[in-house]
Amino acid sequence: MLLPRACLVCGRKLLSDEEHLCRDCHDDIPLTRFHLLRHNPMADRFNEAIQTYLESVWDEGSRPFERYAYATALFFYDGGGEYRHITHQIKYHGNISVGRHFGGMLGLEVARTPWMNDVDAIIPVPLHWRRRLSRGYNQAEIIADAVSSVTGAPVRTDILKRTRHTRTQTRLDISAKASNVKGAFSARLPHPSDLRHILLVDDVFTTGSTLMACFTALRTVFPPGVRISVATLGFVGGG
């Protein structure tokens, strides 16, 4: 017997024309609408991390100039809220269909954003091969594929690699998260390379430490003239 399809948020049985969420829960998704704002809380937090990194590595006189990095997320993520089930279904339960559905929604927002519609490469945050082997897939890659299907920008998994197996970030504090992923990624320049705007994709932006580690790895092979933006399904608000 087939189990009835249920809403990921409230658990109500879905109607034939509803997908993953019932109509009421779909209408109540806590959308960020960050794609409408060049400067938004997520982008500000990510750019602050970039500046902190630059100040820690270079003296003021030799510090390279970084343009403001763009960032967007589909919805506000609350670890205790019911909408967390969206990303949990993708990450922990292998629900690829959920990743494609909400990744497509994120892709529509990226495609409609004037400052992101020139993205020419989408790079999902990579998993270490051991974790990918045990999980069977990379949730960030599922989301990236869905974004690609809408925007037309190709997914590139040949540029960024996770070179060190790290602990899960879930239960770590801010400083521990940053230390956990520091130096965990490496990048190589593709040949030929004519990229101008890269979009890094992950499931949830919490502190931004993982995306920041990816950013610094990419900067070892791509100069500041190549813009690096970020997009995720969820964004954890607050300080």
CA 206 to chain centre: 10
**Hey, what long-range contacts does 1-9 have (CB within 8 A, 24 or more apart)?**
8/85, 8/86, 8/89, 8/98, 9/82, 9/83, 9/85
pTM: 0.89
pLDDT given at position 182: 65
pLDDT given at position 1: 44
pLDDT given at position 173: 42
pLDDT given at position 73: 98
Q: How far apart are CA 142 and CA 90, in angstroms?
A: 9
- DSSP H or E segment with residue 94: none
pLDDT given at position 165: 57
Q: With a cut of 50, which residues of the chain have pLDDT below it?
A: 1, 167, 169, 172-174, 176-178, 180, 239
